[in-house]
Structure 1
Amino acid sequence: MKFKVKTVGREMLAIVIGNGLTAWAYSWVLVRANVISGGVTATAMVAARLSGWSVTGWTNLITVSCLLVALGFLGGHNFINSIVSSLSYVGWFSVAQAWPPPLSISLWWGLPLAGLLVGLGYALCLTHHASTAGLDVLALVVHRFWPRIPVAHSLRVINLAVLLLGAWQFGLRSFILGLGFILIYTQTLAVVMKRQQRRALA
């Protein structure tokens, strides 16, 4: 029983920390620079422009849909952890928005830093049986049915598809910056996931 409590506690701590890294990176760098970076928020922004519905409404709809997919295909454990993940992200993001940095962060070093932080944050969530309740759920489902396809590769393809739609709506600059960010964070995620798999097999 004590071992189970410790395991659950470690999972929750890793998920909360992972979402903290991700939320601060998005808030302090990507949101301030208006970078479309794939994922739920960018998908909602594009969908809102095409449909006339609100970004908030689309974000909620996509998030709930992703949670339902997690419940249906990834099991109750992942579903519960994903709920904790989404709630901790909202909390961290709100804090980060409330305390913006006093100076503007240069994209020359801010974007790579954000990519590293988001990649590490995603890795902490995914390696502790949680999604971010975002489009990574789809990548996890693909990996479950086709284990040879790494989660990072599927996530890269999904985000690039969103990014292309974002470029159509938000312009070339947003596409180029978003592409750089996606390549950095998915590569970071791939490296961390590979190391984790090697440790598990050792």
Structure 2
Amino acid sequence: MNWRKYTDILIGNLLITFCYACITVPNHIINGGVTSFSMVTARLLDVQTVYLVNVVTLLLLGLCYIGLGKEYFFGTIFSCVCYLALFNVFSKIGFTVHLPKIASVLLSAAGVGAGYFMCLHAKATTVGFDVLALIFHKKWDKLNVAWTMGAINLAVMLYGGFTFGILAVIYGAVFVGVQSIVLNELQKYDSKKEKGDSWKG
């Protein structure tokens, strides 16, 4: 078993679920991901956010198998278990980080971007809308994964804007921008590092 792969996936999900459950959800920060989509839909349907997160996550897991194949699917299975377990644990604990709004946005966006990178680098999705971005990238390889994720997240935020208002969308846009930049820069750095190692070899 490739322990490094699964360690990276675990750490990535720790970062993501902590930021979502302990910062974005309690501070009502819309970031365009599955959690934000679930937060908005939960208000409309009058159900708990955590239940919708579980349902949407499982649906995306099915899309991962169909659209990305077994290589990503097996890593994603582990990622899915980590995400669901950790999000539920952090939600039940009830620990929250309360900072000024913009600080909460910047901190959680950077953490989520780094978490996404660790999972994608390990050939796994976070069972979020990164599944859709990777499927689009597989079909049209010129599409940048980080920016495609950003576009999907912005679309989700517009959906959320009807519930949370314009100010929430503005904060969300900042979140998506920072998250996309962090993910894109880490992927660029990793790509350069791999090319350098290949040249040395």
- TM-score band w.r.t. shorter chain: 0.7 to 0.9
The 10-residue stretch of structure 1 (172-181 or 157-166) with the greater mean CA deviation from structure 2: 172-181
Q: TM-score, normalised by structure 2?
A: 0.88
Q: How many residues align?
A: 194
1:140 aligns with 2:134: yes
Q: 1:128 aligns with which of 117, 122, 130?
A: 122
2:160 equivalent in structure 1: 166
Q: Which runs of 5+ in 1 are unaligned?
A: none
Q: Which runs of 5+ in 2 are unaligned?
A: 197-201
Q: 1:91 aligns with which of 61, 85, 97?
A: 85
> Which digits, 9 at most, give the CA deviation of each residue in 1:113-138, with x for residues without a partner?
11111110000000111101111100
Q: 2:95 aligns with which of 100, 114, 125?
A: 100
Looking at structure 2, the residues matched to 110 and 44 of structure 1 have their Cα atoms a distance apart, in angstroms, of 20
Superposed, 1:183-202 pairs within 5 Å as 183-202=177-196
Q: In the TM superposition, what is the alpha-carbon distance from 1:141 to its structure 2 partner?
A: 0.5
Residue 139 of structure 1 aligns with an amino acid whose one-letter code is A
Q: In the TM superposition, what is the alpha-carbon distance from 1:63 to its structure 2 partner?
A: 1.6
Aligned residues of 1:29 and 1:107 also touching (Cα < 8 A): no
Looking at structure 2, the residues matched to 200 and 168 of structure 1 have their Cα atoms a distance apart, in angstroms, of 43
2:36 equivalent in structure 1: 42
Identity of aligned residues (%): 32
Q: Where does structure 1 differ by over 6 angstroms across 4 or more consecutive aligned residues?
A: none
SS of the residue 2:173 aligns to: helix
Looking at structure 1, the residues matched to 67 and 182 of structure 2 have their Cα atoms a distance apart, in angstroms, of 26
Looking at structure 2, the residues matched to 115 and 157 of structure 1 have their Cα atoms a distance apart, in angstroms, of 15
- Calculate the aligned-residue CA RMSD, in Å: 1.9
C-alpha distance 60-91 of structure 1, shift in aligned 2 (>3 A): closer
Q: TM-score, normalised by structure 1?
A: 0.87
1:22 aligns with 2:22: no
